[in-house]
Amino acid sequence: MKPFTVLRGKVAALDRANVDTDQIIPKQFLKRIERTGFEDYLFYDWRYRPDGSPDPDFELNRPQASGAAILLARRNFGCGSSREHAVWALENYGFRCVIAPSFADIFYNNCFKNGVLPVTLSEEQVDELFRRAAGRVYELTVDLEACRVRDDEGFDQPFEIDPFRRHCLLHGLDDIALTLQHEEAIRRYEEEHRARLARQV
């Protein structure tokens, strides 16, 4: 997993509350078992018209959102089913951070397991970010080392994050990498266990 330290990037503003995981990645695209290749299906029903052409009115299709690395959203982002594919699709598309007033618990946990930082700010702070991002190219810096979100125009706010999750993101540690930190202890245990079994035979 790629470490997350300081991210400066363009913002895509998705001015919708209660965006659920079926909207983030529709169910017909869940058959694939790889963690890659989901970027084309992100927000599929909103991004594309029935004929398959991009819908210019959808937020991510607007020119100012092109190449965005930070998704700005409203409350209860990622609600609905527990599909991890939702985070895979966001990460595959290029988003490393999602900022919202609140997140669904399972989605929030899945973000940390896949290198995406979910930042919780107040409704008022998110309102201000939407105001600043409206109709133009807008950039933010998300600093996980200092736990702050800032722009070049005076916005500078702290955010809270669990210290263990912060450590894992800063060092790019997913569940497998965390386990492998104890590889030597695991190896010793396996050897001792095999020896005990051999003595019992």
* pLDDT, one tens digit for every residue, the chain (201 residues): 889 999 999 999 999 999 999 999 999 998 877 889 999 999 999 999 999 999 999 999 999 999 999 999 999 999 998 889 999 999 999 999 999 999 999 999 999 999 999 999 999 999 999 999 999 999 999 999 999 999 999 999 999 999 999 999 999 987 655 555 545 655 665 656 576 766 776
Cα angle: 67, vertex 49, 104; to 5 degrees: 60
Question: Residue 145 corresponds to which tokens in the numbers above?
Answer: 């080392």
DSSP strand E in 110-161: where?
117-120, 139-143, 148-150, 156-158
Listed by start position, the domains of the chain span 6-200
CB atoms within 10 A of CB 124: 8
**CA-CA distance, 167 to 145, in Å (whole number)?**
9
**CA-CA distance, 153 to 41, in Å (whole number)?**
34
The correct answer on CATH 3.20.19.10 for the domain covering 6-200 is yes
pTM: 0.87
Instruction: Count Cα neighbours of 36 within 13 Å in the Cβ-side half-sphere.
Output: 1
Query: What is the residue whose two structure tokens read 């998300």?
Result: 142
Please report the pLDDT score of residue 72 as a whole number: 98
Please report the pLDDT score of residue 161 as a whole number: 96
Buried/exposed code over 58-72 (b: 16+ C-beta within 10 A; e: otherwise): bbbbeebbeebbbbb
Instruction: State whether residue 183 is helix, strand or coil.
Output: helix
Query: What is the residue whose two structure tokens read 């133009």?
Result: 136
Q: Which one-letter DSSP state was computed for residue 20?
A: B
